[in-house]
Structure 1
């Protein structure tokens, strides 16, 4: 009779140990999977959701995640206002989903490629750098790590007589590129 109790107790201890090991393994796998996820994946999973982005300048942008690429996010704000924000220009993000996956959002191309698209489109933009300085104009060219901005008033076309200056802005200094 005592052996029945002994083996019953051993069985319960065995089951408890197996359960502890399984719980530890699940927790470890969860930590490893989470460690492999970055801002890109979190933003992709939050596609279409409203988020708040605190910029390195201290300004907060709010909008819907319209697109995400390699190192950047496109926010759709009030009306048709769009803002291209490099990850390096962000201080923090609020409103992101805690889940990941399930979204078809996410582009493989980087910031330079996105800026080249704005340049080809001859879009008038406002570029804000990490000091908070803003420059409005048209992106004339995009190099490997720098953009070339011809400054002019937002309501004037980019013509030689309207250009008031030219500015090179390293990608590392760009906090946000928005429609002018």
Structure 2
């Protein structure tokens, strides 16, 4: 009888050790997989979330998360008035659900420059806000490899040579957000 209890105890200890080892391995794999996730994949899993808030220096852009690129997010605070947010300017995000989604190869290449070129092609009047909170209105004339050039003019005017009051070169690393005003 004593031997039976001894063997039962040893068997229970072996089973417990195996369970603990498996739990440790699962936890380690989970940590490794999470270490591979980036902001893009987290946001991508939350496209169409109705109320996310992206905190930028001095302000918050909140609304429905419409789309995400590798270095930008499109948030719609009001219907038909989306705001393009440069992800390097984001300090924190709230309102996200769990999960992550890996982007397609094409989506990985659709960076901030490509999104800004689409706005530029439309010749839309925009409000541009940099990471320091400085706002300017006008039309994006040029989108380079790492910057954009804004023809500054009043928000209620179209881009015409006579309406342009200045030209502003904005490096992507200092861009906070771009919002269409009209166009």
**TM-score, normalized by length of structure 2?**
0.92
Question: Once the two structures are superposed, what CA deviation does each residue of 1:113-168 show, in whole Å capped at 9, x if it has no partner?
Answer: 11111111111111101121111000001111110100011111111001010000
In structure 1, the partner of 2:40 is 40
- Name the SS of the counterpart of 1:144 in structure 2: coil
Q: CA deviation at 1:2?
A: 2.0
Equivalences for residues 53-132 of structure 1 within 5 A: 53-56=54-57, 58-101=58-101, 107-108=107-108, 109-132=110-133
Stretches of structure 2 lacking an aligned partner (at least 5 in a row)? none
Runs of 4+ in 1 over 3 A off after TM superposition: 101-104
Q: Distance in 2 between matches of 1:92 and 1:152?
A: 32
Q: Distance in 2 between matches of 1:127 and 1:143?
A: 16
- Structure 2 CA distance for partners of 1:102 and 1:148, relative to 1, 3 Å: closer
Q: What value does the CA root-mean-square deviation take over the aligned residues?
A: 1.6
- Name the SS of the counterpart of 2:23 in structure 1: helix
In structure 2, the partner of 1:133 is 134
Q: CA deviation at 1:102?
A: 9.0
Paired residues of 2:113 and 2:146 also in contact (CA < 8 A): yes
- Name the SS of the counterpart of 2:149 in structure 1: strand
Aligned length: 178
Q: CA deviation at 1:107?
A: 2.7
Q: Distance in 2 between matches of 1:110 and 1:101?
A: 17
Q: Distance in 2 between matches of 1:171 and 1:60?
A: 19
In structure 2, the partner of 1:165 is 166
